[in-house]
Amino acid sequence: MFSRRELLAMSAAGAAMVSSGAQGATFGNPDEPPQGAINTKNASSLSDPGPQNPALAKQFPSAQTPPATDVGGLPMNWASFNNAPRRIQNGGWARQVTVVDFAISKEISGVNMRLSAGGIRELHWHQAAEWAIMTYGGCRITVLDVQGRPYVADLKAGDLWYFPPGAPHSLQGLGPDGCEFVICFDDGHANEFNTLLVTDWLAHTPPEVLSKNFGVPAETFGKIPLHNLWIFQGTVPGDLAADRAAVARHAEAPPYPFVYSLGSSAPLKESAAGSIRIADSSNFKVATTVAAALVTMPPGAVREMHWHPNADEWQYYISGQARMTVFDTGPNARTTDFSAGDIGYVPRNLGHYVENVGDTDVQFVGVFRAPRYEEVSLSNWLAHTPPRLVAQHLNIDEKLIAQWPDTSPGVMPKT
């Protein structure tokens, strides 16, 4: 039995052969030798007698039957939190995708974490900078900057935080149901399961040194944990103003907030086709090594063909069903499907678009290891090139070129 998709592909192949009579090298079917379902002439060239995993295959229609425009062998650019093992403790859990699991992801490693109401991610620090986006609930963060200035804030879904390398911090779930968020480290090797923990250091310091260091008797530390806590259940934090007053003591406040409300910020681009919101060091001053673009688009819309000159793009799909094709020299073109909880990756300067192929809004965030967000729009480039020059390249009438967008729309609607 053939799947509906295979039958559709075969009937499309038949239609193409009737209309063009050609085997390949036609519009939408460029390659020689011909590739893609459209070029098969019998059912068994396309069917897959097995073994199969239908549940998994269903999530990757573009791998099962790539568009005839796909070619070559670009490396895997899909990963997911959905199949990453959760490290579960009382108070919450975390799972991660680092470059060890996802070879292409050299600039960013990703962590997905849940904290219960009162659940605490232990006071810690690490080598990499930490950027995060809240996807659910409420979270209280604490951080001390490298000038010794303390900061405490509460975050909601759509909010970001950024902690510079080495800045010590904590995270705690608020009521009524804690929180969930995604962290990006600006280093593909960074590992949430191996951070510098306050409990580990105190347990591995001689008691007499602790006594001198803090100016109190060694017995003060008699009941400290001998093993680290990492994530543990605490009590739900009280009033934010009280915590802010408690941490101030003799210190000054940092000049810029360590949080930014990206989800409720004014979009850089907005139309019926969707919106793009940007957070980088121009508006989120402390985020000197990570920039982000939050994209929301309705069914059928396409995040226009573009590339990023200054960094790889690490994508986290928050909702919906999307399909992305990445283009590289060769030529190479690879189309991949993404669902909520999945991760995509595009090396810098490689062309790509993202299409909403589902029935609901697609929302994803692109994260870049760069101080500023940068993109080049294909249509904007061609619209700002002498039309006669473009016409000679593409064999398209100048009057039609004049209709192309000349404002980098970001997202284009369903046609």
Report how far apart, in Å, the C-alpha atoms of 144 and of each of 101, 120, 164 are: 32, 17, 10
- Catalytic entry in 95, 126, 303, 352: 126
Place of tokens 């068994």: 44
Structure tokens at 339: 């669902």
- At closest approach, how far in Å is the CB of 53 from Mn ion? 30
Candidate list 124, 140, 306, 334, residue with the active-site label = 124
Q: Which of 204, 125, 223, 226 is nearest to 171 (CA)?
A: 125
209's enclosing H/E stretch is: helix 207-214
Triad 26, 28, 31: Cα angle to 5°: 60
CA distances from 69 to 25, 39, 66, 203, 326 (A): 10, 12, 8, 59, 11
In the complex, least distance from residue 315 CB atom to Mn ion, rounded to whole angstroms:
8
Give min distance, CB of 317 to Mn ion, in A. Answer: 13
One-character DSSP codes across 48-77? --S---HHHHHH-HHHHS--TT-BS-PPP-
Strand 119-125 relative to strand 196-197, pairing: antiparallel
- Please identify, using beta-carbon distances, which residue of 37 and 301 lies nearer to Mn ion: 301
Q: How far is the CB of 164 from Mn ion (least distance, A)?
A: 11
Catalytic one among 6, 122, 180, 192?
Answer: 192
Contact residues for Mn ion (CB under 5 A)? 130, 313
Q: How far is the CB of 2 from Mn ion (least distance, A)?
A: 35
Pick 254 or 344: Cβ nearer Mn ion: 344
Give CA–CA dist 405/196, Å, rounded: 50
126 part of the active site: yes
CB of 205 to Mn ion, least distance (A): 21
Contacts for 292 with CB less than 8 Å, ≥ 6 apart: 131, 133, 160, 262, 278, 279, 280, 365, 366, 367, 368, 373
Smallest gap from residue 393 Cβ to Mn ion (A): 24
Q: Is there a contact between 161 and 279 (Cβ–Cβ < 8 Å)?
A: no
Given 169, 277, 306, 308, which residue is catalytic? 169
Phi, psi of 244 (to 5 degrees): -65, -40
Q: Among residues 130 and 187, whose Cβ is nearest to Mn ion?
A: 130
Q: Which two tokens stand for residue 130?
A: 């930490």
Is 393 one of the catalytic residues?
no
Q: Which is nearer to Mn ion, 26 or 349 (CB)?
A: 349
- 8 Å CB contact between 260 and 281: no
Q: Among residues 111 and 401, whose Cβ is nearest to Mn ion?
A: 111
Half-sphere exposure of residue 51: CA atoms within 13 angstroms, side-chain side: 1
**Annotated catalytic, 306?**
no
- Residue 121 CB neighbour total at 10 angstroms: 24
Query: Can you say how many angstroms the Cα of residue 202 is from the centroid of all Cα atoms in its chain?
Result: 35
Give min distance, CB of 313 to Mn ion, in A.
5
| CB of 66 or CB of 344, closer to Mn ion | 344
Q: Which is nearer to Mn ion, 196 or 242 (CB)?
A: 196
352 is catalytic: no
Catalytic, out of 6, 107, 122, 130:
130
Question: Catalytic pick from 121, 277, 303, 352?
Answer: 121
Closer Cβ to Mn ion, 260 or 345, answer by number:
345
As annotated, the active-site residues are 121, 124, 126, 130, 169, 192
